[in-house]
Structure 1
Amino acid sequence: MGTKATTVEQQITLLESRGMKFDCDVEKIKETLLDIGYYRLGFYSYYFQDKKSHQFTSDINFNDIIKLYYFDFDMKMLLLRYIYRIEVHFRTQLVYFASNFYNENNTWYIDSKIVDNQILKEFNSIYFNLKTKNKIISKHHKKYHPCDYAPTWKVFEFLTFGQVFKVFSNLKNEDLKLKISEVYGFREISLLNNYFISIINIRNICSHNGVLFDYNQPIGIQSIPNLKYRLKTQNNTNLNASLRLLLFILSKVSKNRASDLEQEVKSLLAIASQNELVKNIIISKIKFDL
C-alpha cells in the first residue's frame, strides 16, 4: 500500500492487476477488506508476491490468504491463553520468594540495594501511571496516604510479563534468582533467562498483531533438557522451537495444561491443513514435529 489512501474498489482492482484470483462475490471481498484491512492482509499475501514487481508468483486466491490469516490469528489466540498461565505462575514465584526473602520490606522492588539502579527510573514512570490510572493502586494510596508505594503483591498484579521479568533480571541477589530458577528445574539462571525472553517474544508477537507462523527468535532457544520436548533439528529459532519450549515450560506449571495445549495445537494444524496453501506453509515454515 502506497502513501495515499485507496478505496476498497481500488484495492480489489490492484490485487487483480497483480494476478490475484477471486472466487467470491465482490460484496464479500469488500466486507473482508473493511473488516481486516488491506494493509494487514498484505503481511500474509507478501509471501506469494515477487518482491520487485509485486505480482503474485502462483495461482493465489483471495480466500487462501484469508484462510492463512485466520489460521495465524487462531494460533496467536491459542498461545496467548497458555502463555498467560505461565506469566501468572512466574509472577507468583517472584513475588512469593522475593517478598519472603525481604520480609521486612514490602516494597523491595524499588530498593536500590535489592534491584539494580538502571531500572528504577523506568519503574518510577510505570508506577506513576499505575498510581494515577489503576483503581486498585489509587485506592491503596487514598487509604494509606501518604505512602510512596504499594506492597509488591498488589503492584505486580498490574505489570506486564516483560516488566515482571525485567525486575527479576535486575535482582542483585543471584542466590534468590537461582532459587526461583530451580522452581522450573534449572540450575543455571542463564537458561531461565533464555527461555523466558523467548516466551515473552512470542507473547509480544501474539499481542501486537505480528505474523506468527514465520516468526524466528532473535536469539536461538537453548537446548531443552527434556527428551519429549527437545528439538529434533538444528533450527532453534522457528515457531516449532518456540512451541516446544512453551510446552516444556507449561509442563513445569501443569502437565495437564501442557497436554491440553499440545492437543489443541495439533488439532488446529490438522484443520488448517485442509487448505492446500496453508498446509504448505505449515510444512515449510512451522515444521511442527512433536
Structure 2
Amino acid sequence: MEAGECRRVFSFLFMKTATTIAEQIAQLEQRGMVITDKAKAEEVLADIGYYRLGFYWFPFENKYPNKHNRDHIFSSGTTFEDALSLYYFDHDLRGILTIYLHRIEIHLRTTLIYIVSNYYKSNPTWFADRRIVAADFLRMLPGLYSDIRKNDAIKHHHHKYRNDIYAPAWKTLEYMTFGSILYLIESLKHVDLQQEIALSMGISNLKVFHSQMQTLRVIRNVCAHGHNLFDLKLAQSIKPGKIKGMEKGQRNSLAGGLMVIASILSSISSNRQHEFIDRVNGLLDNANHQPIGRFISHITPLSH
C-alpha cells in the first residue's frame, strides 16, 4: 500500500461519525456536564445543533482557552443551562448589533453616493472611470457587477437603457456589498472626497476611518454568518482615534468594536447611539449576574 493510500485509510479509520441526540447527551454527561432536564436538552440539540453549541460549552472545559490537546472535560458543576445561557447572550447581542450596523452601513452608502455623484455630476457611472477610481478596483468591477445585475431593479434599468454598460451610481451602489463599498471608498483617487466621507462618520483621520470601517465589516460578517461574538479576536488592531478609554487590550476584541459602533452612531443620530448603548449595557448587566459573567468580563459597559 502506497503512502498516500495509507493516509486516506488512516484518516477514514479515525474520522468522527454521526451520533444520535441521545448519544450526544450521554457523551456530555460522561465529560462532566450536568443535564437535569434531558427532554429540554434533546429539544435544544435538535433545534440548535451539537456542533454550534460546542462553541459555547468550550469555555466551560478545564483546558479553555487552549484549543490544542483538548480532553473536553468540563469544570465541576458545569450545567447544560450555563452553556445555553452563553449561546443566548451571543444570539441576543448579534440581534442588537445587526440593527445598528445596518444603520451605519446605509448611512455610509448614502453618503458615498451623494458626495461623489454630486462632485462628478456629469458622470453618473463615476465608479467605473479610471480617472476617478484606482485600477485595482476597476479590475474587480466586471465580476462585482455581474452579481449586481441579477437584481430586478438593475435588470429593469438595462432593459430600458440597453446601451448602458453600468447603471448609475445611485442604483448600482445600493447593491454592492459592504466590503465592496469600503474598497471603493479606499480606491477614490480624490483623497478629499474620502476625507469628506470620513467626516460624515465623525472621523477626521483617514487611517483611523479605514481601520474602524474594517472593524465594522468583520463584526458585520460575524453577525451575518451566526458565528460566536463573545470571544471575538480581531486580526487587525483598531485605531481608536477620538474614542476615549479604549485600552490596548480592547483594540483586538469585541469590546473595542462596540466602542467603535457607539462612536460612529453619535455622528449619525444621538438618539440611536443612546439606544444602542442602553441595549448593550442592559444585556451585559443581565449576563454578568449569571455564571457566564466570567466569560464576558472583558466586554466593559459603554459610556454615553
Which of the residues 116, 122, 139 maps onto 2:134?
116
Alignment of 1:121-160 (within 5 A): 121-131=139-149, 133-160=150-177
Determine the structure 1 residue equivalent to 2:182. 165
The one-letter amino acid of 2:35's match is F
Give me the whole-angstrom Cα distance separating, in 2, the residues matched to 1:4 and 1:107: 53
Query: Structure 1 residues 195, 56: CA separation in 2 closer, same or farther (over 3 Å shift)?
Result: same
* 8 A contact 1:80–1:206 mirrored in 2: yes
Structure 1 residue 231: Cα displacement? 1.7
Q: Which structure has more RCO (C-alpha within 8 Å, separation ≥ 6)?
A: 1
The one-letter amino acid of 1:274's match is H
The reply on whether 1:263 has 2:275 as its aligned counterpart is no
The reply on whether 1:189 has 2:206 as its aligned counterpart is yes
Taking structure 2 as the reference length, what is the TM-score of the superposition? 0.88
Structure 1 residue 52: Cα displacement? 2.3
* 8 A contact 1:224–1:245 mirrored in 2: no
Unaligned runs of 5+ in 1: none
The one-letter amino acid of 2:238's match is I
Give me the whole-angstrom Cα distance separating, in 2, the residues matched to 1:226 and 1:61: 39
* 8 A contact 2:208–2:241 mirrored in 1: no
Deviation track 1:262-289 (CA, whole Å, cap 9, x = no partner) reads 111111112223322x222222x32335
Determine the structure 2 residue equivalent to 1:45. 57
* 8 A contact 1:214–1:286 mirrored in 2: no
Does the residue aligned with 2:235 lie in a helix, a strand or coil? coil
Give me the whole-angstrom Cα distance separating, in 1, the residues matched to 2:103 and 2:35: 41
* 8 A contact 1:224–1:231 mirrored in 2: no
Determine the structure 2 residue equivalent to 1:20. 33
Unaligned runs of 5+ in 2: 1-14, 64-68
Does the residue aligned with 1:286 lie in a helix, a strand or coil? coil
Alignment of 1:1-290 (within 5 A): 3-24=16-37, 26-49=38-61, 50=63, 51-131=69-149, 133-227=150-244, 230-231=245-246, 234-276=249-291, 278-283=292-297, 285-288=298-301, 290=303
Taking structure 1 as the reference length, what is the TM-score of the superposition? 0.92
* 8 A contact 1:71–1:272 mirrored in 2: yes
Q: Which has the larger radius of gyration?
A: 2
Determine the structure 1 residue equivalent to 2:7. none
Structure 1 residue 120: Cα displacement? 2.1
Give me the whole-angstrom Cα distance separating, in 1, the residues matched to 2:55 and 2:296: 16
Task: Name the stretch that deviates more: 26-35 or 74-83.
Answer: 26-35
- CA-based RMSD: 1.6
Does the residue aligned with 1:66 lie in a helix, a strand or coil? helix
Does the residue aligned with 1:146 lie in a helix, a strand or coil? coil
Give me the whole-angstrom Cα distance separating, in 1, the residues matched to 2:239 and 2:147: 36
The one-letter amino acid of 1:39's match is Y
* 8 A contact 2:259–2:302 mirrored in 1: no
Give me the whole-angstrom Cα distance separating, in 1, the residues matched to 2:243 and 2:223: 26
Identity %: 36
Determine the structure 1 residue equivalent to 2:4. none
The one-letter amino acid of 2:128's match is I
Give me the whole-angstrom Cα distance separating, in 1, the residues matched to 2:270 and 2:198: 18
Deviation track 1:81-118 (CA, whole Å, cap 9, x = no partner) reads 00111101111111111111111111111112211121
Structure 1 residue 251: Cα displacement? 0.3
Query: Structure 1 residues 135, 289: CA separation in 2 closer, same or farther (over 3 Å shift)?
Result: closer
Structure 1 residue 74: Cα displacement? 0.5
Give me the whole-angstrom Cα distance separating, in 2, the residues matched to 1:92 and 1:107: 15
Structure 1 residue 124: Cα displacement? 1.2
Query: Structure 1 residues 124, 35: CA separation in 2 closer, same or farther (over 3 Å shift)?
Result: same
